[in-house]
Amino acid sequence: MKMLLFWLEFFVIFIAIFVSAELLAKGADELEDFLGQGITGGIILGFLTALPETIFVIVASLEGSFDVALGSAIGGNVLLFTLGIGLVGLFYALKWRSTLQISSEYSVENVFLIISSVAMLLVLIYGKLDIISGLLLILIYIIYVVYRVIKFRGEGGSRKEGNLVKPIIFIIAGGILLVVFSHYFVDYINEIATMFNVPAIWLSLLIAPIAGELEEKISAFRLIQMSKDGGSLSILSFVGSKIENATVLLGIIGLFTDYKLQVALPEYISALVANIIAIYVLFDKRLRTIESTILIGVYIVMVILSFYL
């Protein structure tokens, strides 16, 4: 009876995650017509998909679990900037039979992805996250958001007249479901993996990261299905969320403690390398099938190497 209840709870949580992804995708698809891809994808979707991690980092930092907080802050970068982008590129090619062309609005995200990556490198050279580096990292994200808003207003504000209520309700409802159920979903996935004696290395490198980013990938696939512009919107969402992870989330840790990066060097460097890969691949605003395939291959190689390092 207890086992039946466990699987029933897991099924309900999975459905909630799927509904969350559907609501966010539907809301973003409609909101894009009013606000453009930069605000909708980079800021709104990026913020909402990073919100569960943000809450988790704050809670872990309050509890003094700074290693866990750092893992949550940057752990998704490697997965999303290799496997995530790769799958989006392949799915887009299969759906629309063409190369994914990223919106010109991505230029802003590209600049701030470079800035946040340079900031991560400087913090690495500095050797620790503390209140100084933390505040500077958070300042980068604030500048990113302010610049996006100013740029949008400079372009004349709303691009389309109409009712914003419905897409906003979709976005808020999807965001609430995501915040409430995302960590329960990861916990249940971890418990299922333990139940079936999945090795710890597989759990940490494959299962937990994929489970943690599942909603973001489902939203991306649904956006691609809804419209040809959905692929570009997905990429801006991915990059926007990881800009936040590399600035705000790392900055939060620095506000709580002096965290020596030497203890988490492999994870930190891996996230930095993933950022550089994303900058290189997305720089020309085109995501080709061969690039998508290589990105998936890179993730597989990184996982395999992790078994032996």
- For residue 186, being part of any structural domain is answered with no
Q: What is the pLDDT of residue 85?
A: 96
The SS3 call for residue 101 is strand
CA distance 79 to 98: 24
Nearest Cα to Cα of residue 20 among 199, 166, 180: 180
CA distance to 42, 51, 154, per residue, from 240 (Å): 4, 12, 21
- For residue 92, being part of any structural domain is answered with yes
Domain coverage including residue 247: 37-157+199-308
Q: Check if the beta carbon of residue 76 is closer than 8 Å to that of residue 53.
A: yes
Q: In which residue ranges of the chain is pLDDT below 50? A: none
Q: What is the pLDDT of residue 136?
A: 97
Residues 6 or more apart whose CB falls under 8 angstroms from that of 106 comprise 37, 38, 232, 235, 236, 239, 282, 285
**pTM of the full structure:** 0.89
Burial 217-228 (b: 16+ CB within 10 A, else e): bbbbbbbbeeee
pLDDT tens for residues 209-227? 677 777 788 899 999 999 9
Write down the residue that tokens 């995302």 correspond to. 182
Nearest Cα to Cα of residue 27 among 12, 54, 55, 48: 48
The CATH number of the domain where 210 resides is what? 1.20.1420.30
Q: Check if the beta carbon of residue 249 is closer than 8 Å to that of residue 73.
A: yes
Q: Count the domains in the chain.
A: 1
Q: What is the pLDDT of residue 111?
A: 97
- For residue 6, being part of any structural domain is answered with no
23: number of Cβ within 10 Å? 23
Residues 6 or more apart whose CB falls under 8 angstroms from that of 221 comprise 88, 91
Q: What is the pLDDT of residue 103?
A: 93
- For residue 28, being part of any structural domain is answered with no
- For residue 15, being part of any structural domain is answered with no
- For residue 105, being part of any structural domain is answered with yes
Write down the residue that tokens 């620095």 correspond to. 254
